[in-house]
Amino acid sequence: MGTTPVEVADALAAHDYLADDGLATAIFLALELQRPLLLEGEAGVGKTEVAKVLARWTDGELIRLQCYEGIDVAQAVYEWDYSRQLLHLRAAEASGADVVEDELYSERFLVRRALLRAIDHHGAVPPVFRAEAPPVVVLTSNRTRDVHDALKRRCLYHWIGHPDFERELAIVRLRAPEVPEALARQVAAGAAVLRELELYKPPGVAETIDWSHALAALGRTTLDEAAVDVTLGTILKYREDQERVRTAGLEGVVQAALQRSA
C-alpha cells in the first residue's frame, strides 16, 4: 500500500485511474485508518471505479453489494441453498440413510452473500460482525436517496465532482489512446459545454470516454455538427436531454467546444 497520498495517486494511475489530490488523500486515509470511505457524486464520475481499481491494485477480491430499498439480511449476509438441501434429503431417503439435521445446516449448503464473504472469520471464537483483518470498504452514492447520519459518522467522506478540462483530457488520453489529440481535446471540451446546459443527466467521464471511442471508430479527427448529431446517444442517455441540446443548437455546442479546446 502507498505510504503517502502521492504514492496512492501514483499507484492508482498505474492502474489507469487518475485521482486528484483530494481523492488520493481520502483513499490514503481510508486505508491507513482502516475506515470505510463514502464517495458521493453524480453518475459517471468514477465512484465505483475507485473500488475496482483498489481491488486490482491490492490483488484483492472485489465483493459488491448493491443496496436498495427492501434488501434483507439473507440477501446481504447469507442464506441456505434450499434446492441442494432438498436434493440431499431425497438422496438420503432413497438410500435408506439416516438424515442428520446438522448436515443440512453445514457450510456445504451455505450461500455466502457479500457481507459474509467480506468478514469471514476462521478463528476459534466467532466474532460479532468484526473481521480479523478489516476489508477495504468503499460506499458509493449519487444522492438519489439520503444516507443515514449514523452511517456517515462511521465513514470518511469525499465528493467526486466532474473533472476540470485538463484532467478529463488526461483521462481520455489514458482510456482512449486511439483518439487523435485534437479530437480528444474537443471531446473533453464538448462534454464540459454540455454540462453547462442544465440537462436532466449531465454526461459523466464514462460518457466522455464512450463518445471519444465512438467518434474515433467513425474515423473522425475533429468535432463538427454532423459528428455530434449522429453520436449524441453516446454522450447523452436521455431523449429529453438530446432534444434540449438539439433545440439549443448543435452548432453552438460545437463552436463553444472548439473555442474551449484551442
> Can you give the residue ranges of every domain in the chain?
5-63+135-159, 78-112, 165-261
Q: Which amino acid is at 77?
A: V
Environment class of residue 14 by beta-carbon count within 10 Å: exposed (0-12), middle (13-18) or buried (19+)? exposed
- pLDDT tens digit sequence for 229-246: 999 999 999 999 999 999
Instruction: Provide the β-strand partners of residue 158.
Output: 39
Say whether 124 sits in a helix, a strand or coil.
coil
Q: Quick check: 158 and 38 in contact, CB under 8 A?
A: yes
Residues with Cβ < 8 Å from 152, sequence gap 6 or more? 38
Angle, alpha carbons 35-40-43 (nearest 5°): 140
| Cα-based angle 109, 71, 150 (whole degrees, multiple of 5) | 120
Question: pTM of the predicted model, to two decimals?
Answer: 0.73
Chain segment 70-110, per-residue pLDDT in tens: 777 777 777 787 788 888 788 877 887 776 667 777 777 77
DSSP state, residue 136: P
